[in-house]
Structure 1
Amino acid sequence: MADVSVIILTHNEEKHIARCLQSLHPFTDKIFIVDSFSTDRTVEIARSLGAVVTQNPWVNYATQFNYGITNNPFQTTWLMRMDSDEYVLPELAAEINQRLPDLPADVSGIYVKRRVLFFGHWIRHGAYYPIWLLRLWRRDQGICEETWMDEHIKLSQGKTIQFQNDLVDHNLNNLTWWTQKHNNYAIREVIDLLNINYNFDETQRVEPKLFGSQEQRTRYFKIQYASLPLFTRPFLYFFYRYFIRLGFLDGQKGLMWHFLQGLWYRFLVDAKLFEVYFHAGREKQAIIHYFRTHYGKDLSPGN
């Protein structure tokens, strides 16, 4: 067993949680779940498989995950971040067991590759594989970036390395659930795009850098994307993914994925951003007031 504990956030994940936890058991039995008051069998299943479960009201992903870091009952050298609809491949589990104990002290973070499955199909093209994510880090040397969307683990020191094997993102819910989820994501994405110009919460984020780490490049490209005209950028992004980055090679299931995630969702974000400007204008305090009164989200510093 590796000296690592895994933190997972859950809400009504009974379809996924057993698969996720069983994939972790080859390298750790130290699993801490922060549940936001599930109404299905998530907590029951997780506890039956040995996880320690606590419950905490949901604010946003970063706040909930940092709660998990602070309240993690396991004093392990390493922490790992997992989503409940993900699972670790046996090859990655073996690599964690073999390599983690012998890493030098100046290594503080480890990147792993995520592969996305959609209707059981591995999305290999459209710049969607490999996606390198910082998922393991030394305790007390990393926190979750305080953003409303695309949160990353931010290290306070040390260098990073890459492991060679994958974890898998395979959500088993239907398309109605998926579109509803992305409709909710769109509001968070709007806030994150507005934060680029307004910095509502006045927090430090991952430094944008074209030739930096995966999350630094992601932040860099998001800033460039935010500077493009509304309703033009979703089509440019889809064209880039589907044609330039060969997303069409993913076949019929890939067409659905790249269209829904790369065009429909991005267009919905722009439409919601247009709605904010239409009703609130572009003054910072007016936008904060709009989100507080219409969405119940307080964007002020410290919230």
Structure 2
Amino acid sequence: MISVLILTRNEEQDLPGCLASVAWSDDVHVFDSMSTDRTAEIAREHGAHFTQRAFDNYARQRNAALETLPFRHAWVFILDADERPTPALAEEMRQIAAQAPESIGGFRMRRRDFLNGTWLKHAQLSPFYIRLVRRGRARYVRDVNEILEIDGEVGDLREMLDHFPFSKGITHWTQKHNTYSTMEAQVVAAGVSRTEASWKTALFGRDFHERRRAQKAIFYGMPGRPLIKWCYMMFVRGAVLDGAAGITYANLQAIYEYTIVLKTQEIMRGSQETQARQKTGN
């Protein structure tokens, strides 16, 4: 069997459906960031183990769950409350967990993001995620855009993980991404590591997340990023082929990128003004 880890923060709306989608597991853990709604009550009503920890950052929160929870099984399936494994994926995971050689430490799967009932097949920027991991062989790194590092080989699953990022509405999505944009702006203002901004790694890196990290570092240094991102999503990835949902998503992502640019400029101006005051003694 497989243990399940669900990360939550005020997820009374999405958690019931998420728990129903993993009812096949006899070891479900909800790791919560001090919710103030009915998240705890819902988790316990469904028979899930419930643990709380004050949130500090995404990587540390997820690592705390992986390192401290008493998982019953050797494999752990990691979920957010707005995600649902399809029945086909659940069956594939159960079969592969029983047969996987010891050399494999995790499995990557394709996630389908939905907006207004439409799969963002072309618009979605990051469709592949490692979510099934062998206990004790996985660790998250980086405070922003956290990456899951695996001790061992990473296999690939065929079936899909469904994701509903707009389940709580556009307002919730924009509020969440307002927090993300602040965190990204702080990273950009601090200076992205030049060793990460490698074209070779961005194009030919062995791992998807390794390529993605290098691509992000290169992208941070480009002028006109919001427009570049919009054009890339619309015409290179083909978001326009996803219809109104794809166009909406491309617009939202361009706005998100522009927000990062503005916040980065604001942080850097503040830093320069602080340095100038220190030089003048004021």
Give the alignment's TM-score, normalised by structure 1: 0.83
Aligned to 1:131: 127
2:257 aligns with 266
Q: Secondary structure at the match of 2:13?
A: coil
In structure 2, distance between residues paired with 1:251 and 1:78: 38
Indicate how the Cα distance of structure 1 residues 63 and 76 shifts in structure 2: closer, same or farther if over 3 A, else same.
same
Name 2:266's counterpart in structure 1: 275
Structure 1 counterpart of 2:37, one-letter code: D
Q: Which amino acid aligns with 1:61?
A: Y
Task: Look up the equivalent residue of 1:247 and give its one-letter code.
Answer: A
* Structure 2 letter corresponding to 1:17: L
What is the Cα deviation at residue 5 of structure 1?
A: 1.5
Distance of aligned partners of 1:196 and 1:107 in 2 relative to their CA distance in 1, 3 Å threshold: farther
Contact in 2 for aligned 1:10/1:34 (Cα 8 Å): yes
| Separation of aligned partners in 2, 1:89 and 1:281 | 51
**Aligned position for 1:76:** 73
Distance 1:276 1:139 in 2: 40
For structure 2, the residue ranges without an aligned partner over 5 or more in a row are 195-199, 276-282
CA shift in 2, pair 1:219/1:198, >3 Å: closer
Which residue identity lines up with residue 217 of structure 1 in the other structure? R
How many angstroms apart in 2 are the aligned matches of 1:281 and 1:162?
47
Once residues 34 and 212 of structure 2 are traced to their aligned partners in structure 1, the CA distance between those partners, rounded to angstroms, is 32
Cα distance in 2 for partners of 1:217, 1:137 equals 20
Which AA in structure 2 matches 1:210?
L
Q: CA-to-partner distance for each residue in 1:161-215, whole Å, 9 max, x for gaps?
A: 100001111131121222111111111122333455369xxxxxxx955322121
Whole-Å Cα distance in 1 between the matches of residues 192 and 259 of structure 2? 20
Given candidates 108, 113, 129, the residue that maps to 1:111 is: 108
On the 8 A contact 1:115/1:129 being kept in 2, the answer is: no
Aligned residue type for 1:7? L
Secondary structure of the 1:224 match is helix
1:238-249 equivalences under 5 Å are: 238-249=230-241
Inter-partner Cα distance in structure 2 for 1:75 and 1:196: 42
For 1:66-215, list aligned pairs within 5 A: 66-126=63-123, 128=124, 131-145=127-141, 147-156=142-151, 158-171=152-165, 172-194=167-189, 197=192, 209-211=202-204, 212-215=206-209
Name the residue aligned to 2:61: 64
List per-residue Cα deviations over 1:30-70 (Å, max 9, x = no partner).
Answer: 11112122111111111111111111111111111111012
Residue 254 to residue 197, structure 1, CA distance change in 2 (3 Å): closer
Instruction: Tell me if the contact between 1:148 and 1:189 (Cα under 8 Å) persists in the aligned partners.
Output: no
The residue that corresponds to 1:216 in the other structure is 210
2:192 alignment partner, SS class: helix
Counterpart among 223, 226, 229 of residue 234 in structure 1? 226
Deviates more, 1:147-156 or 1:45-54: 147-156
1:20 aligns with 2:18: yes
Contact 2:186 2:267 in 1 (8 A): no
The amino acid that maps onto 1:235 is L
| Aligned equivalents of 1:54, 1:193: Cα separation in 2 | 34
After superposition, the Cα gap between the structure-2 partners of 1:196 and 1:109, relative to the gap in structure 1 and judged at 3 Å, is farther
Select which of 248, 252, 257 maps to 2:244.
Answer: 252
How many angstroms apart in 2 are the aligned matches of 1:195 and 1:153? 23
Distance 1:84 1:45 in 2: 12
Q: How far 1:257 moved relative to its partner?
A: 1.0
Instruction: Please give the secondary structure, in 2, of the residue aligned with 1:73.
Output: coil
Query: Which secondary structure does the structure 1 equivalent of 2:78 belong to?
Result: strand
Residues 32 and 68 in structure 1, CA contact (< 8 A), matched pair in contact too: no
Hey, what's the Cα distance between the residues in 1 that align with 2:116 and 2:30? 27
Provide TM-score, normalisation by structure 2: 0.89
Residue ranges of structure 1 left out of the alignment (5+ in a row): 200-206, 287-303
8 Å contact kept, 1:115–1:130: no
